[in-house]
Structure 1
């Protein structure tokens, strides 16, 4: 992940504490991120993994007991730093909106709503 040393909150002496997320395995990072979600959202992601990946990440999830808030926060921050490099909000947002509405409402309702939305924004 980007800049593997993630600054943490100040410790008791007022000095910043840093956690080196490069010491955390990919499976552990995935487990922390999945455990941060609700079960339905985590299941939606797990559904896209290969069986061996599910086994490795599932094992890491089962081992993830008593995670420190520092470790969880460090993984979250490193993840956000990584995705910010590759994500341009606004790029493809019309396709994202259309796909999300189809998934949520079904094809017919979503298409009607998308048409109304796009006509209202001057797109299309």
Structure 2
């Protein structure tokens, strides 16, 4: 936002503006890592928004970070796991066929007394690009975390 523009209050900001402020407040390396995890259109949108903000008042940065922190705490309390959730995220990340193969493999392994490969080890085999496809629809503030 230019110096001569009126500074908005944190509760008046759009999601794009808040995401831009979060990225501006990061060091360049971390901001670049966040942008690398987004698709081209999202990068363009956020870059345009970042360019609009010449100076961000420190108190506004603090308020946006506090809101983000509270949102992440609330989100973590609401998140649930379990086998059904794991199956759903695998299905979204990998597609139905690959997810079913992994779930079947996990189920067979979990029936054995000595499980050779844990479910988390199976998740580690997921290609990063597949995980990116899963999280790219998340809110930019969530991805930034």
CA positional deviation for 1:87: 2.8
CA positional deviation for 1:39: 1.2
Looking at structure 2, the residues matched to 68 and 35 of structure 1 have their Cα atoms a distance apart, in angstroms, of 11
Looking at structure 2, the residues matched to 34 and 73 of structure 1 have their Cα atoms a distance apart, in angstroms, of 13
- 1:66 is aligned to 55
How big is the alpha-carbon RMSD for the aligned residues of Structure 1 and Structure 2? 2.6
Q: Which residues of structure 2 form unaligned runs of 5+? A: 1-7, 78-119, 125-145
Picking from 13, 21, 29, the partner of 1:40 is: 29
CA positional deviation for 1:20: 4.6
Establish whether residue 22 from structure 1 lines up as the match of residue 11 from structure 2.
yes
Three-state SS of the structure 2 residue aligned to 1:87 is helix
Q: Which residues of structure 1 form unaligned runs of 5+? A: 1-18, 89-94, 100-124
Three-state SS of the structure 2 residue aligned to 1:65 is coil
Looking at structure 2, the residues matched to 20 and 62 of structure 1 have their Cα atoms a distance apart, in angstroms, of 19
Q: In proportion to residue count, which structure has more helix?
A: 2
Alignment of 1:85-124 (within 5 A): 85-87=74-76
The size of the alignment, in residue pairs, is 76
Using CA pairs below 8 Å that are at least 6 residues apart, which structure has the higher relative contact order?
2
CA positional deviation for 1:42: 0.9
List 4+ stretches of structure 1 deviating above 3 A: none
